[in-house]
Structure 1
Amino acid sequence: MTNQYFATVARGLEEVATKELENLGAKNVTTDFTGVYFEGDRALLYKVNIWSRIIFRVLVPISTIKSNNAEELYKNTKKIDWSEHIQIDQTFAVNCTGRNPELNHTHFTSLQIKNAIVDQQRDRYNRRSNIDVKNPDILINAHIYENQCILSLDSSGDSLHRRGYRPAMGVAPLKESLAAALLEMVNWTPDTPFLDPMCGSGILPIEATLKSLNVAPGLSRNRFNFEHWQDFDADLCDRIIDDAIQQQKHELDAPIFGSDRNIEMVRQATINAKKCDVNHHLKLNQVTLENLEPPTDNGIILCNPPYGKRIGNTQELGSLYKLLGDVMKQRFKGWTAYILSGNKELTKKIGLRTSGRIPLYNGSLPCTLLRYELY
């Protein structure tokens, strides 16, 4: 049976997510703002949750109802047969996004939907499900757009970008999903040496290692919310998980390096690498930019240096960017470098001509991924 799904993604990553979903077998894939619609069967739903490196969560639309105001939202929500989705002994929660003139507070909107569901349960069974906002069995997503509300089941639960390996974080870390998307954007393949000379807590080299070893990100999760659904097929899910385990590789095709001038950052990166059992595959070292040397004859540099919006001082960072440009130009001939930055003035200090620019967002910060061919 073919169903329609909606994958939520970070702003600017819709096209990258589209390619990933198509590679996983999704059909009729179309992009929307911070999301991608696609079609597939139940096996694909499980597979996307287990394999996706880029999306946040997979929603399964239940119904689109009119919701000009709170009363209409409550009435139309209550018309849905919620017994098909929530059992009385299960906990649930409602997350809401979007707004219209009458429904302009997401917590209030969520409350109307919750009330409609539990009132229906009371009317039918004289009992109701409990609410658990932290770890619900069933997670309902509501999206208000103009006079409509799209109600969906969230199959993922916790956002898929949380791989579970990152207890140690730097001051302004990349999300794991953005790091994975950057690897796709720079067309890095596992047979190419990889270096992040400002690795911080290690997210980029760790994601590169996981990709190189073909480790499905979802294998590290304790659970997905679809496991609590009434139509959950445990045997099918187990087969997909077993297949993912069989596809893992045991050795890198090319070396992966991460370095940072701050020894505490290197320690954090090492902790994170150990958490997902890849510390013996990648090489993490304390190295200042002044002492940075190419570890191989060629490869890809990808880094996310501080750009003064959340950490660092813009003036002081100017010398850092200049040094980065000088080191790349003088020592890394034959390499291709990519720099993610949200500060145009700082990137001018690199002093190299770009061969490509890709606009994207790091959280809410508008950034540019800059490409440099090093001859």
Structure 2
Amino acid sequence: MSTTYFATVARGLEEIAAKELKSLGATEVKPDFAGVHFHGNKELFYRVNLWSRIIFRVLVPIQKIKSCNATQLYKNVHKIDWSKYLQTNQTFLVNCTGSNLNLNHTHFTALKIKNAIVDQQTEWFNARSNIDVKNPDIIINAHINNNYCILSLDSSGRSLHRRGYRSAMGLAPLKETLAAALLDIANWDGNSPFLDPMCGSGVLLLEAALKGLNIAPGLYRNKFSFQNWLDFDSTIYSKIVDEAKNKQLVRLKAPIFGSDQDRNVIEQASINITACGLDKDIKLNQVQLEKIEAPTDKGTIICNPPYGKRIGNYKQLVTLYKLLGDVLKQRFKGWDAYILTANKELGKQIGLRTSRRISIYNGSLPCTLLKYELY
């Protein structure tokens, strides 16, 4: 049976996520703002959670209800048969987004929905579920749009960008989903060498290795929220997990290199890479930018240098960007380089002609991914 789902995604990555969903077998894929609607059966739904590198979470819509004010919201939530989704011995959490004129505080809206659910449980069963804000069994997502509320079950639980492998956190790190999206934009498929010369805590390197080895990122998670659902099918899920494990490659088709001039940063990257079991696949090197040499005669560089919004002194960054441009021009002929920046003036300091400029967001920061074909 085909069901409608909604995948939430970072702003600006809707089309990339739609392409990924189609590759996983989703049908009727329709990008929307910060998300993608799609259809599929239960097997596809489990597979998306396990395999997606781009999306944050998969929501399963329950019902769209009229919600002009708090009283109407409560009454219409109370009418839904919540015993189909939640047992009294299970914990739950309500997450709310959006607003309208009368429901303009997400915490208050979530509280009204919670009250309607537990009041129904108490009336029907003389027992009620407890709230767990840290590790709930069931997560209910509510989105207020105009005078309606869309209620959904959150199947993923913890956001899918939290792979579970990153224990050491650097300054201003990329989300794993954005790192994976940058690899897709660069059309890097694991068949050519990859380098991040300013690797930080190693997120780009790790996402490249997962992609290059065809490892499903969801395999690093302990559990998905859908495994607590009343209709969870362990047979189908076990089949998909086994298939994913069997599709993993033993070794990379091309090498992955990472470097940084800061020893502490390299140690952070090493901790994360080891936690992921990829220490034999990724080659790390502590080296200053001006001393970097191309490890092979061709490949792909993706780099996320500081751009002054969170870290770095502007004058120092001007020098850094100029140096980066010089190093690319002089030592990386035959390579394609992609530089992510949120500062147009700093981007100009690279001093090379771009072959492509892609608008993208890093969190709430509007950025540009600059492509350079080096020859």
The TM tier, using the shorter chain, reads over 0.9
1:314 Cα shift? 1.3
* One-letter identity of the residue aligned with 2:108: F
Query: What is the rounded CA distance, in whole Å, between the counterparts of 1:332 and 1:285 in structure 2?
Result: 17
Per the alignment, in what secondary structure is the counterpart of residue 118 of structure 1? helix
1:202 Cα shift? 0.5
Query: What is the rounded CA distance, in whole Å, between the counterparts of 1:234 and 1:51 in structure 2?
Result: 17
TM-score by length of 1: 0.99
1:22 aligned partner: 22
1:90 Cα shift? 0.6
2:361 aligned partner: 361
Query: What is the rounded CA distance, in whole Å, between the counterparts of 1:170 and 1:130 in structure 2?
Result: 36
* One-letter identity of the residue aligned with 1:328: L
Per the alignment, in what secondary structure is the counterpart of residue 227 of structure 2? helix
1:220 aligned partner: 220
Query: What is the rounded CA distance, in whole Å, between the counterparts of 1:32 and 1:98 in structure 2?
Result: 15
Query: What is the rounded CA distance, in whole Å, between the counterparts of 1:11 and 1:261 in structure 2?
Result: 32
1:139 Cα shift? 0.3
Per the alignment, in what secondary structure is the counterpart of residue 253 of structure 1? coil
Q: Deviations over 1:328-351 (max 9, x none)?
A: 001111111000000001011000
1:201 Cα shift? 0.3
2:322 aligned partner: 322
TM-score by length of 2: 0.99
Query: What is the rounded CA distance, in whole Å, between the counterparts of 1:296 and 1:304 in structure 2?
Result: 21
Query: What is the rounded CA distance, in whole Å, between the counterparts of 1:257 and 1:304 in structure 2?
Result: 15
Q: Deviations over 1:168-224 (max 9, x none)?
A: 011100000100010001111111100000000000011100100011001111100
2:269 aligned partner: 269
Instruction: Note the residue ranges of structure 1 that are not aligned, 5 or more in a row.
Output: none
* One-letter identity of the residue aligned with 2:286: Q
1:165 aligns with 2:165: yes
1:33 aligned partner: 33
1:315 Cα shift? 1.5
Query: What is the rounded CA distance, in whole Å, between the counterparts of 1:125 and 1:242 in structure 2?
Result: 39
Instruction: Note the residue ranges of structure 2 that are not aligned, 5 or more in a row.
Output: none
* One-letter identity of the residue aligned with 1:168: A
1:101 Cα shift? 1.1
Please give the root-mean-square deviation of Cα atoms over the aligned residues, in Å: 0.5
1:345 aligns with 2:345: yes
1:10 aligned partner: 10
Query: What is the rounded CA distance, in whole Å, between the counterparts of 1:319 and 1:103 in structure 2?
Result: 50
* One-letter identity of the residue aligned with 2:270: T
Per the alignment, in what secondary structure is the counterpart of residue 226 of structure 2? helix
1:252 aligned partner: 252
Q: Deviations over 1:133-166 (max 9, x none)?
A: 1111110000000000000000000000001111
* One-letter identity of the residue aligned with 2:221: R
Query: What is the rounded CA distance, in whole Å, between the counterparts of 1:171 and 1:277 in structure 2?
Result: 23
Query: What is the rounded CA distance, in whole Å, between the counterparts of 2:314 and 2:358 in structure 1?
Result: 22
Aligned length: 375
Query: What is the rounded CA distance, in whole Å, between the counterparts of 2:320 and 2:14 in structure 1?
Result: 32
* One-letter identity of the residue aligned with 1:142: A
1:120 aligned partner: 120
2:374 aligned partner: 374
1:312 aligns with 2:312: yes
1:201 aligns with 2:201: yes
1:77 aligns with 2:65: no
1:106 aligned partner: 106
2:282 aligned partner: 282
2:294 aligned partner: 294
1:94 aligns with 2:105: no
1:67 aligns with 2:83: no
* One-letter identity of the residue aligned with 2:333: K
Query: What is the rounded CA distance, in whole Å, between the counterparts of 2:341 and 2:250 in structure 1?
Result: 34
* One-letter identity of the residue aligned with 1:260: D
Q: Deviations over 1:289-321 (max 9, x none)?
A: 110000000001100000000000112100000
1:352 Cα shift? 0.4
* One-letter identity of the residue aligned with 2:340: L
Query: What is the rounded CA distance, in whole Å, between the counterparts of 1:358 and 1:66 in structure 2?
Result: 39
1:259 Cα shift? 0.3
Per the alignment, in what secondary structure is the counterpart of residue 60 of structure 2? strand
Per the alignment, in what secondary structure is the counterpart of residue 209 of structure 1? helix
